[in-house]
């Protein structure tokens, strides 16, 4: 078996375990974590000077981003949110408040405003990306759609290097995330117990 296919299989196994663990979280667990995560994330140096932040709307038992989105929006930061395209690539639109979010496919909430195009993410001064796990190198495991792999490839191609930050639960910082050649490292992870930065 090639390194690539074994990485893919190992990712699928770890992804299933972590999604199952998230499903077991109670609403109270999730709400408690979201409040602490928001407080930590709002104070991040990576976000304090940012004029534009690319983020996402947490759904289900994902580590909560809603309080953070409102705090950034209230601070005058331009917050870009993803819009899932048919091929799993991401378009972007500005966050205009919770009342301007609409239900989309796959349980997602997406911004109702004008689509800015997939290249809009290149304007972000920091990128908050979803994940299921990260390891001590900053290797991230996503949902497997490859959406953020494409975002990260697009940033690398344009030679822009905004800080890449993942919000996770504590147990999702793991010893090792299986990797494939297309994977990119992130710079920091925020969990309820703290912030960890990775140096390449
Ligand atoms: N909140 C959020 N928004 C995001 C992402 C994400 O991971 N989280 N994405 C990251 O790339 C993109 C959307 N990609 C997605 C890919 C797969 C599934 C998915 O498998 N959903 C399940 C139902 C939800 C669940 O229980 O997990 C499904 O369709 O069966 C969802 C979003 C862009 N927006
Ligand atoms: N730059 C790219 N362009 C198009 N497809 C890509 C790119 N990078 C990776 N992919 C494809 O996306 C699929 C999912 O990759 P992977 O399992 O690494 O996703 P992930 O990083 O866990 O998820 P996500 O990026 O959505 O958070 C793979 O089949 C991979 O070949």
**What percent of the chain shows pLDDT beyond 90?**
96
The string of pLDDT tens digits covering residues 1-53 is 555 568 999 999 999 999 999 999 999 999 999 999 999 999 999 999 999 99
Q: Give the 3-state DSSP-derived string for 41-97, with helices as H, strands as E and coil as C.
A: HHCCHHHHCCCEEECCCCCCCCCCCHHHHHHHHHCCCEEEEEEECCCCCEEEEECCC
Using the mean position of ligand 2's atoms as its centre, give its distance from the Cα of residue 84 in Å: 14
Compute the CA torsion angle 59, 48, 35, 175 (nearest 10 deg).
70
Q: What is the pLDDT of residue 75?
A: 95
Q: What is the pLDDT of residue 21?
A: 98
Helix, strand, coil % in the chain, rounded to nearest 5: 40, 25, 40
Ligand 1 neighbour 143 (Cβ under 6 A): yes
Using the mean position of ligand 1's atoms as its centre, give its distance from the Cα of residue 108 in Å: 7
Ligand 1 neighbour 145 (Cβ under 6 A): yes
Q: Which numbered ligand comes closest to the C-alpha of 143?
A: 2
Spans of the chain, pLDDT less than 70:
1-5, 200
pTM score of the predicted model: 0.95
Q: What is the pLDDT of residue 110?
A: 98
Establish whether this prediction's ipTM goes over 0.90. Answer: yes
- Ligand 1 atom at minimal distance to the Cα of residue 131: 7
Q: What is the pLDDT of residue 6?
A: 82
Please give the CATH topology (third level) of the domain spanning 3-197: Rossmann fold (3.40.50)
Nearest to 112 by CA among 69, 138, 81, 152: 81
Ligand 1 neighbour 82 (Cβ under 6 A): yes
Q: What is the pLDDT of residue 199?
A: 85
Q: Which numbered ligand comes closest to the C-alpha of 152?
A: 2
What are the residue ranges spanned by the domains of the chain?
3-197
Using the mean position of ligand 2's atoms as its centre, give its distance from the Cα of residue 76 in Å: 32
């Amino acid at each position: 078996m090639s390194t690539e296919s074994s990485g893919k299989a190992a990712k699928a196994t770890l992804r299933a375990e972590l999604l199952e663990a998230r499903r077991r979280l109670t609403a109270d667990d999730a709400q408690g974590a979201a409040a602490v995560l928001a407080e930590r994330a709002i104070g991040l140096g990576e976000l304090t000077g940012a004029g534009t932040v690319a983020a996402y709307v947490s759904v289900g038992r994902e580590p909560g981003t809603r309080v953070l989105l409102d705090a950034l929006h209230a601070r005058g930061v331009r917050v870009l949110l993803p819009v899932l395209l048919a091929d799993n690539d991401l378009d972007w639109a500005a966050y205009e408040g919770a009342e301007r979010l609409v239900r989309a496919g796959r349980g997602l909430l997406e911004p109702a405003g004008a689509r800015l195009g997939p290249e809009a993410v290149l304007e972000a001064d920091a990128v908050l990306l979803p994940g299921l796990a990260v390891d001590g190198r900053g290797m991230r495991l996503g949902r497997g759609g490859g959406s953020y792999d494409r975002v990260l490839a697009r940033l690398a191609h344009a030679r822009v290097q905004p800080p890449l930050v993942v919000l996770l639960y504590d147990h999702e910082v793991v010893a090792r995330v299986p990797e494939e050649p297309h994977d990119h490292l992130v710079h920091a992870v925020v969990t309820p117990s703290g912030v960890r930065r990775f140096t390449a």
